[in-house]
Chains A and B, each alone.
Chain A
Amino acid sequence: MPITYTSGEQIEVYRFRLPVAILIPLGAIFLQAFLPLRMPFFAIFDLPLLVTIFFAVARRSQVAGLTTGALIGLVQDSLTHQPLGLYGIAKTVVGYGASSLGVRLDVENAGARFLVTLGFYVVHEVVFFMVARGLVGLSVAWSWPHELGSAFANAILAVPLFFLLDRFKVKT
């Protein structure tokens, strides 16, 4: 699937109702904390990240994207015992980047969504690794095969998930 460059006039900007904007990220964080308990393999996915990318790309607003990313990341941080800001910073960067990309490119088709998720997953992990190691001084294991495998798994999950979440979009 080609990623086509579109002019500003061609891009459709979406918004979400308030309950959807609150409950979907909260649901993603809940599922991320709950599902690996019953299905340990699910830990490979990062649902809050996928939701961050989806909202950022759909809204095509950099401020909205980075704010959504920061809030989702901080809530995710607060469920852990590590300092607040590790996921917050990583998802802020992803939210800003994804919305910036959404402004310039048509990322509505499955192929584009797959590639965008793949790329931003790696960006997220790199930023997270740098912050955790460089700023907080945590020992974080980095393995390219694992990271790329996780990136592919998340990208594959993102395609049907984004089509599901498309139902909640409202055209402006």
Chain B
Amino acid sequence: MDSFITRYRNVSILVAILFAQVLGLAVQVRRSPDSQSTRLIRVWSVAAVTPFEKAVVWSQSSISELWHNYVYLRGVRQENRDLKYEIENLRLKQVRLSEDAEQARRLQALLGFKEQFILKTVAAQVIGLTGSDLSRGIYIDKGRTDGVKRDMAVITADGVVGKVLSVYETTSLVLLIDDQTSGVGAVLAKTRVQGILRGTPSGEVVLEKILSDEQVGPGDQVLTSGGDQIFPKGLPAGTVASVSQGPESFLNIRIRPAANLSKLEEVLVITQQEEETPVAGGNAPLRAADVLAQRLPSVPDQPAAPAGKAAAAEGLETSDALDGASPSHAAEPATEEHPSGTPKSVTPTVKAPPKAAKPAAPAPTAELDSTKPDSEKRELDSPPPGNPPQ
């Protein structure tokens, strides 16, 4: 017997270690996915790897900030001018949308509709991936100490990203929506048909449970439905990339996610949301979809000229509303920790602008006009018919 073991010592050890792992797998598979049986090993591994990731991300962003904020400032004046111009146009557009939103809230209040509001978010930086195609997830630099909990929604300004799966002391694992085990309640924006957004083993995102007699076409927008009790209703989830006949009587709908899941740098974790009947009037919280752009602490890209012009054209139609509140009045700022460590002005409880707010935005000025063609200048100077300036 001894000689047998000595002779086959290496093979015996191989078999023993493989057997132990297979046994461990069997135990884990049998237990529920929420089981914490392997948590200790995961905590050790995460504790061993994520400090390096944090250090690298921190130094990378510090160098980048130093370069962009103090050294490489070429084109900043022009960019500043363009941004000011865009802000003016967005203010005009916002006033019109605020009116629409207010009207919608009044109607919702009348009908007793419940709506989900984002009350609090935590900005987080992406520090790493799971490193496996079978598990599509990201690690963020915020954890239990920052108020992050399991099953919290994670979003960017573009749309939904995923949900928090595991929470550690200072880091969290976020399951992306393209993972095969993820599921997001979704609705087609045009037809309001509800389905389930799922990931596939190859990393694609598909919309399931849509009957083949529904009208769905490429380019249709997909929003969160709020039915999963994780993601607030109305956040952009993606657009339909292709539609084909699927199994049984369902469509096979491939979705292009709204957020770029392969290049995530900063995300928002929704740490508090509430469902309530919207209040018609000045102090109603902003809806989930309204709050995104204000909350994500990322530097916006340089505005593309055509987009700005398009916005201008849209905003000019409502130049009567120049006395509305500016975006800066749309929220009462509080402080929240920015991923880079610097405090950033954000809004834990976002309130709608007071109706009687004084105009913060001056009418488009000559300075702005200098960046626009003559045809637009004329439009700026003359209010559209039926909408006299106030």
Report A's interface with B, CB cutoff 8 A. Answer: 26, 29-30, 32-34, 36-37, 40, 43, 62-63, 66-67, 70, 74-76, 78-89, 92-93, 96, 131-132, 135-141
Q: Known: A30-B53, A70-B17, A78-B41. Is A136-B25 also a contact (CB below 8 A)?
A: yes
Q: List chain A residues, Cβ under 8 A from B264.
A: 37
**Is the beta-carbon distance between B128 and A81 smaller than 8 angstroms?**
no
| Distance in Å: Cβ of A121 to nearest Cβ of chain B | 14
**Is the beta-carbon distance between B134 and A82 smaller than 8 angstroms?**
yes
Stretch touching chain A among B43-51, B88-96, B110-118, B342-350: B43-51
Question: Which residues of B148-169 have CB atoms within 8 Å of chain A's CB atoms?
Answer: 165-166
CA distance in complex: A40, B26 (Å) = 33
**Is the beta-carbon distance between B128 and A89 smaller than 8 angstroms?**
no
CA distance in complex: A80, B180 (Å) = 13
Q: Known: A29-B131, A75-B48, A135-B26. Is A92-B21 also a contact (CB below 8 A)?
A: yes
Q: Known: A88-B21, A135-B22. Is A140-B201 also a contact (CB below 8 A)?
A: yes
Closest B-chain residue to A74, C-beta based? Answer: B41
**Is the beta-carbon distance between B53 and A34 smaller than 8 angstroms?**
yes
**Contact sample, A vs B, 26 pairs, CB 8 Å cutoff:** A29-B131, A33-B49, A34-B52, A37-B127, A37-B138, A62-B14, A63-B9, A76-B131, A78-B41, A78-B42, A80-B131, A80-B137, A81-B137, A81-B166, A82-B135, A84-B25, A84-B28, A86-B134, A88-B21, A92-B18, A96-B14, A132-B134, A135-B26, A136-B29, A139-B201, A140-B134
| Distance in Å: Cβ of A164 to nearest Cβ of chain B | 19
Question: Which residues of B37-94 have CB atoms within 8 Å of chain A's CB atoms?
Answer: 38, 41-42, 44-46, 48-49, 52-53, 56
Q: Known: A66-B13, A81-B137, A81-B175. Is A135-B132 also a contact (CB below 8 A)?
A: no
Q: List chain B residues, Cβ under 8 A from A62.
A: 10, 13-14
Extra A-B contacts (15), CB below 8 Å, given A63-B10, A92-B21, A139-B200: A29-B49, A34-B53, A34-B129, A37-B129, A62-B10, A63-B9, A63-B13, A74-B41, A81-B166, A82-B132, A83-B28, A85-B24, A96-B10, A135-B25, A137-B29
Q: List chain B residues, Cβ under 8 A from A82.
A: 132, 134-135
Secondary structure dominating the interface of A: helix
Q: List chain A residues, Cβ under 8 A from B49.
A: 26, 29-30, 33, 75, 79
The 5 closest A-B pairs by CB, nearest first: A80-B135, A78-B45, A83-B28, A62-B10, A85-B25
CA distance in complex: A8, B173 (Å) = 48
Q: List chain A residues, Cβ under 8 A from B14.
A: 62, 66, 92, 96
Interface presence of B36 (CB below 8 A): no
**Is the beta-carbon distance between B129 and A89 smaller than 8 angstroms?**
no
**Is the beta-carbon distance between A81 and B13 smaller than 8 angstroms?**
no
Q: List chain B residues, Cβ under 8 A from A80.
A: 130-132, 134-135, 137
CA distance in complex: A139, B201 (Å) = 6
CA distance in complex: A54, B275 (Å) = 56
